[in-house]
Amino acid sequence: MIYYHRTLQDKIMENINSTEAVFILGPRQSGKTTLLKHLMLMVGEDNSLFFDIEYPQNLSLFNQSIDSILQTLRNKKKTKSTITYIFLDEVQYIADFSKTIKLLVDHYSEEFKLIMTGSSSVMIKQQFKESLVGRKHIYELYPLSFLEFCTFKGENEIVSLIQLESNDEAIQGMKYYQPQFELLMQEYILFGGYPKVVLANNTNDKIGILQDIASSYILKDIRNLFHIAKIDSLNHLVRYLSINIGKEININSISIETGLHRETIDNYLNILEASYIIKRLTPYHTNLGTELKKMSKVYYVDTGIRNVLMNNFNDLEQRTDKGELFENYVFLNLYHKKDMLTQLKFWKTRNKQEIDFVLINANSLLAYECKYGMDKQNSFTTFRNQYPHADCKFIRFKQSNDDNDIPAWRI
């Protein structure tokens, strides 16, 4: 089986030999198990033990006392002289696993190193509490980025250009590949970045896989994990969010549309975000008198899932929502690339003047407007008046020669 490099792998390997436990969180089918098994190969299969916690016998093992777990692990060890890496897949099913992890990290780190995956961040993070402070590294594996997508598709020349440090050289080189790039970008936006979908050979297979992911996870896993009784109401909410990507979400309007109480809507939104279906974006405001400060926007973690929920895979040029889909793509790129000290927001005034994305850190303020086409309308005037130090750029699907434009693949 061919292994395609994931960017997250390099970050995990930096802490592979630390004493702390490693958690890899992310949605189902995003490649966590594949990455886990590849990490196992990298550290050496002779030094590793793998447990899929969805198997009843493995779940039963790790729900036992620490003494019973230690006895089994020591019996299964393949070598006696080196540390053994314990790989646990879908760890969220273990009851009170934080206690077991704490004991293994605190008292047996010279003997065992824990590397785990989980598909529900809320269930896992609820168990972290204070008991695992200083005892864990957390990483999140999402569906493929556009760079990873191109790698999976074997587009090595485009990958090399995207990775060039020189902006001018990259843009000049990409001019030759612009038609191919636009086809790749359209496929990525329509069908998303789930690895199995990307590797499927035809459109029908891609749609079938997306339908399976959406139905088995959104309808089944979320319902079972969070004991949701009103699954039809949750489905209604998901469809509402699909129609309104990139728009402010008004809880009162959703309540009228779905018949759900405000508290239930808040709970469902938290569940959908914790389960890696959506991401919420909050507004940027320093002028409390004129700027919007309450409503959030919603984007999908994968545009393929959004499109299968809408049952729409028409080409972008035929769609009325192509601008919103491109904006969702830009959001995901900005979100995944920002560091922990950088905030990602949107900006909107009470007079409806709006900037799609604002990146804020201690040293800079960056404002971005998404443009699918070559529209030259300048929407930065009011923002620049209020924040004259801001660097304002357009991000475009179609590459231009304007110095104030950033091509979509360059963000």
CATH number for the domain spanning 79: value is 3.40.50.300
103-145 per-position pLDDT tens digit: 888 899 899 999 999 876 555 666 665 566 668 888 999 999 9
In a domain, 231, yes or no: yes
Residues 379 and 302 grouped into a single domain: yes
4-23 per-position pLDDT tens digit: 999 999 999 998 988 888 99
- When pLDDT is averaged across residues 217-231 and rounded to a whole number, the result is 72
Residues 158 and 120 grouped into a single domain: no
Residues 216 and 361 grouped into a single domain: yes
In a domain, 130, yes or no: yes
- When pLDDT is averaged across residues 47-55 and rounded to a whole number, the result is 93
* Domain hosting residue 358, numbered range: 147-410
Give dist(CA 30, CA 119) in Å, integer. Answer: 9
Give dist(CA 88, CA 232) in Å, integer. Answer: 33
Residues 117 and 160 grouped into a single domain: no
Q: How far is residue 134 from each of residues 20, 21, 122, 261, measured CA to CA in Å?
A: 7, 9, 19, 39
| Helix (H) or strand (E) segment spanning residue 368 | strand 365-371
Q: Is the pLDDT of residue 308 over 90?
A: yes
In a domain, 365, yes or no: yes
Q: Is the pLDDT of residue 218 over 70?
A: no
CB 216 within 8 A of CB 326: no
Q: Residue 122: what pLDDT?
A: 59
Answer with the one of 141, 163, 178 that is the final residue of a domain.
141
Cβ-Cβ contacts under 8 Å for 95 (sequence gap 6 or more): 63
Lowest mean pLDDT across 168-172, 186-190, 309-313: 168-172
How many domains in the chain? 2
Residues 406 and 269 grouped into a single domain: yes
Q: Where are the beta strands (DSSP E) in 1-118?
A: 21-25, 48-52, 84-89, 112-118
Residues 154 and 130 grouped into a single domain: no
Q: Which two tokens stand for residue 315?
A: 């080409």
In a domain, 2, yes or no: no
Closest CA to 204 of 192, 191, 185: 191
Range among 37-41, 270-274, 285-289, 346-350 with highest mean pLDDT value: 37-41
In a domain, 170, yes or no: yes
In a domain, 267, yes or no: yes
In a domain, 160, yes or no: yes
CB 12 within 8 A of CB 139: yes
Residues 156 and 136 grouped into a single domain: no
SS3 329: helix
142-175 per-position pLDDT tens digit: 999 999 999 999 999 999 988 887 878 888 888 8
Provide the pLDDT confidence category of residue 293 given band limits of 50, 70 and 90.
Answer: low
Provide the pLDDT confidence category of residue 258 given band limits of 50, 70 and 90.
Answer: confident
Residues 134 and 183 grouped into a single domain: no
Give dist(CA 171, CA 176) in Å, integer. Answer: 10
Q: Provide, rounded to the nearest whole percent, the portion of the chain with pLDDT above 90.
A: 51
Q: Is the pLDDT of residue 399 over 80?
A: no
Answer with the one of 106, 141, 176 that is the final residue of a domain.
141
Q: Provide, rounded to the nearest whole percent, the portion of the chain with pLDDT above 70.
A: 92
Residues 187 and 290 grouped into a single domain: yes
Residues 163 and 275 grouped into a single domain: yes
Indicate the pairing of strand 136-140 with strand 21-25: parallel
Residues 247 and 362 grouped into a single domain: yes
Residues 242 and 390 grouped into a single domain: yes
Answer with the one of 141, 169, 200 that is the final residue of a domain.
141
